[in-house]
Amino acid sequence: MTLLYPVMPRFADSLGATVTQVGIVVALQPYVAAVTQAPVGLLSDRIGRRLLIFGFMIHLVCFLLYAVVTDIGLLMAVKAFNGLANAAFYPAASALVVDLAAKEKRGQALGLFATSTQLGNMAGPAMGGLILQHFGFQAAFLTSAGIALVATMFALSRMKLVRTGALAGGEKMTWGWLKTRRALASFLATMFIMVGIGSVISFFPLYGKEINIDVARVGFIIASIYLGSVLTRALAGKISDQVGRIPVILTGMLLCTTGVFLISRFTGVFPLHIAAFIYGLGLGSALPACAALIADVAPLSVRGFAMGLNSGSFNAGQAIGATTLGFVAASVGFASMYLVTTISLGTGILIVIFLTRGK
């Protein structure tokens, strides 16, 4: 999926999209995922975690469809359908990790799971930028399709394992945990962090073009975010098991705020790598702790639903960043847009502190 991060904005631009339309194209997939992940996660509580395999299959179909898209309207339709892949995979997969982990090691287990996704996130943009620069759009889409096919075949070979995530059907579902301040803080922290990511993956390929950075280097700069995230996720999850979720979440949000502020100020390739890496350190610190916090407060009977809400807030933030900040970029330029993103993240820190004071 992330192989297409540096590709999709340029592809939409090649089809005649405006800057605002580029943001909408990028946002459609996470918007659909944000709306559908919680109910699909609840479905995984009832029928088992095997639902994640359908996510791979939908990705495969969509990557093949991108290769034949010829207008912006059709591209938007396929991107929206692609959101169902996220909805089918992430809640079921993260709930399966929690199912299999001891309670006192949930943060560490979710950190390891997140590390595996971030390894893909790190490799994807770098590969996508290189493939696009040297071989074009079709090669990038077909490469993504090939990777999705491998993932589908691997998951099908492990059907016995993913079936073990199914829960007993007689357990009563409870909802009081949704009203807690800790749950709200987790959802909002995730959303604010992903607003920043939405602004980077949507508009940095275009910003790079404006400041004379080629698409291959843009892909590597985006990959620096995920390199920082890979290096911290497992460790941050383990630390949150020991010292608590909230300190780790706030530290991560502060690093993200610093990183995006530096992106708004820097124009050189090496400084932008540093800024992206700092954002990645924050991303890798905060998100596993947010997921573990939800796993702590949600009962077993609605675990898939809870992880779906967590993934939904993840995708909602990314989509909000891509759409609302697209209007900002169109009005005041990309550098100022990243400064607005900095203010947004700082506001998020204050909100989380307010919600968790004394907790």
pLDDT digits (tens, 9 = 90+) for 201-223: 889 988 998 999 988 899 899 88
Mean pLDDT over 2-21 rounds to: 91
User: What's the first-to-final CA gap in the chain, in angstroms?
Assistant: 37
Name which residue leads in pLDDT, 335 or 299: 335
Q: Let me know: does 14 contact 62? Beta carbons within 8 Å.
A: no
Q: Is the pLDDT of residue 342 over 90?
A: yes
Quote the pLDDT of residue 275.
97
Q: How far is CA 110 from the centre of its chain?
A: 14
Quote the pLDDT of residue 172.
58
CATH superfamily of this structure's domain 2-165+174-356:
MFS general substrate transporter like domains (1.20.1250.20)
Q: Let me know: does 148 contact 64? Beta carbons within 8 Å.
A: no
C-alpha distances out from residue 332 to 17, 268, 303, 338, Å: 18, 20, 43, 10
Quote the pLDDT of residue 267.
92
CB burial string 236-261: b at 16+ within 10 A, e below: bbbbbbeeebbebbbbbbbbbbbbbb
Within 10 A of 106 (CB to CB), how many other CB atoms are there? 22
Element (H or E) spanning 331, and its range?
helix 303-332
122-126, 156-160, 185-189, 323-327: which is most confident: 185-189
Q: How far is CA 217 from the centre of its chain?
A: 21
Quote the pLDDT of residue 101.
81
pLDDT digits (tens, 9 = 90+) for 60-103: 999 999 999 999 999 999 999 999 888 888 878 887 887 778 87
Query: Which range (207-221, 224-238, 275-289) has the least confidence?
Result: 224-238
Q: Is the pLDDT of residue 341 over 60?
A: yes
Quote the pLDDT of residue 169.
46
What pTM was computed for the model? 0.72
pLDDT digits (tens, 9 = 90+) for 124-169: 888 998 999 999 999 999 999 999 999 888 888 877 766 554 444 4
Query: Which range (232-246, 276-290, 322-336) has the least confidence?
Result: 232-246
**If you write DSSP's letter for every residue of 24-60 in order, what string do you get?**
HHHHHHHHHHHHHHHHHHHHHHHH-GGGHHHHHHHHH
Instruction: For the chain, give every domain's residue range.
Output: 2-165+174-356
Name which residue leads in pLDDT, 185 or 86: 185
Residues near 297 by Cβ (< 8 Å), separated by ≥ 6? 177, 180, 182, 183, 306
